[in-house]
Amino acid sequence: MNQPQFFKPASKLTLSEVAALTGAQLADPAHGSQIISGIASLDLAGPMHLSFFDKRKYSDELHESHAGACLVGAGLQVDVPARIAVLRVANPYAAFVEVGRVLYADTLRPASAFGTEGIAGSAVVHADAYLEDNVVVDPLAVIGPDVEIGSGTVIGAGAVIGAGVKIGRDCSIGPGCSVLHTFIGNDVIIHPGCRIGQDGYGFVSGPAGHRKVPQMGRVLIQNDVEIGAGCTIDRGALRDTVIGEGTKIDNLVQIGHNVTIGRRCIIVSQSGVAGSSVLGDGAVLGARVGVSDHATIGAGAMLAARSSVVGEVPPNVKWGGSPAKPIKQFFREVFEVERLGREGGAKKSKPPGAGKEEQA
């Protein structure tokens, strides 16, 4: 039985059209009129699917695949069975993604989960809010006074948009989000369950307990940012929290108050960036990276998964470990500890009196 799908291709493409779209070269031009109606991995692909092959370790899947066509690097073409049409291209996976973006354009930006057009009857929109034409507000969303929302933006079911928030055009605010004290640019996607613009974590401790530090700043989210589900981004205390243009943040990431994240950064799931830290343009944090307060990560720096950062990381380096250090140094230290562990274990396993026998 065919399984139902939430996303169906918007159109079909010939292999000639795929080649023109991706800059690929058809190995056999006679296949130019062949139609594909979807994309799939090698093991799931059928005769109407386009797949890709970029590593020989997947050769078994390639030879068993029923794909109609495959994007491959020039050096891998010889591995492709004759039944599969070949398109040679420098970067098979990037080309595969480009085709997917055309066929499944509706996956790139969340739509109304309720199929709403305009403002749902159960949504609450303050009389002083200003919404441009073609804004969609799903059921049970709440929009406060002095809010401004640009054309093409979708506010998901149950979302709360606090007083004075500004949201640009063609944005998506997912179901169950709360957005307070925040200015958002254009083409921003915020996935379900995010908490943005709440208090930063700031207290002064003393004999009488912990006294709350006023958090008077804002959150500024620039154009083309994407924020994964369940993220929290605190507003600034004395300055703004800033998420730079084109930055992509995975699910379950915590961004503290006063943090400045540069343009086109990548922050992977379960990472945390503590207050007043700075990430330069293009910095990359692997999964579960912890960045201490007032740290600086240089532009283009890459931190391996589960690293911790204290102080400063130079630009354009690859670091890892806890505390983070140059990745080659980190691996040398790991190997040395393992070597010492093996040698220590070998010494303990010697039978009693073995040393005396050797001396005799």
Q: Which entry of 49, 181, 191, 257 is annotated as an active-site residue?
A: 257
Q: HEC states along 7-51?
A: CCCCCCEEHHHHHHHHCCEECCHHHCCCEECEECCCCCCCCCEEE
Q: Do 293 and 208 share a domain, yes or no?
A: yes
105-129 pLDDT tens trace: 999 999 999 999 999 999 999 999 9
pLDDT over 90 (residue 319): yes
30-72 pLDDT tens trace: 999 999 999 999 999 999 999 999 999 999 999 999 999 999 9
- Tell me, yes or no, if the pTM score tops 0.85: yes
CA distance 302 to 314: 10
Can you list the positions of beta strands (E) in 117-207? 124-125, 130-131, 136-137, 142-143, 148-149, 154-155, 160-161, 166-167, 172-173, 178-179, 182-184, 189-190, 195-196, 203-206
Domain membership flag for residue 343: no
pLDDT at 355: 55
Q: Do 92 and 221 share a domain, yes or no?
A: no
Containing domain of residue 254, as a range? Answer: 180-325
Domain membership flag for residue 131: no
Number of domains in the chain: 2
Of 107, 130, 155, the position where a domain reaches its end is 107
pLDDT at 344: 74
Nearest to 111 by CA among 151, 143, 155: 155
* Average pLDDT score, the chain: 94
Of 107, 134, 153, the position where a domain reaches its end is 107
CA distance 192 to 205: 35
Of 54, 82, 107, the position where a domain reaches its end is 107
Q: Do 188 and 319 share a domain, yes or no?
A: yes
* CATH number of 94's domain: 3.40.1390.10
Concerning whether 257 is annotated as a catalytic residue, the answer is yes
Domain membership flag for residue 220: yes
* CATH number of 305's domain: 2.160.10.10
Query: Quick one: pLDDT band at residue 324, thresholds 50, 70, 90?
Result: very high
Q: Do 94 and 226 share a domain, yes or no?
A: no
pLDDT at 342: 83
Q: Do 84 and 184 share a domain, yes or no?
A: no
Domain membership flag for residue 89: yes
Q: Do 85 and 193 share a domain, yes or no?
A: no
pLDDT at 42: 97
Q: Do 191 and 319 share a domain, yes or no?
A: yes
Domain membership flag for residue 360: no
Read off the DSSP letter of residue 119.
B
Domain membership flag for residue 116: no
Mean pLDDT value of segment 230-234: 98
Domain membership flag for residue 268: yes
Domain membership flag for residue 338: no
Residue 91: CB atoms within 10 A of its CB come to 16
237-250 pLDDT tens trace: 999 999 999 999 99
Q: Do 65 and 202 share a domain, yes or no?
A: no
Q: Do 100 and 188 share a domain, yes or no?
A: no
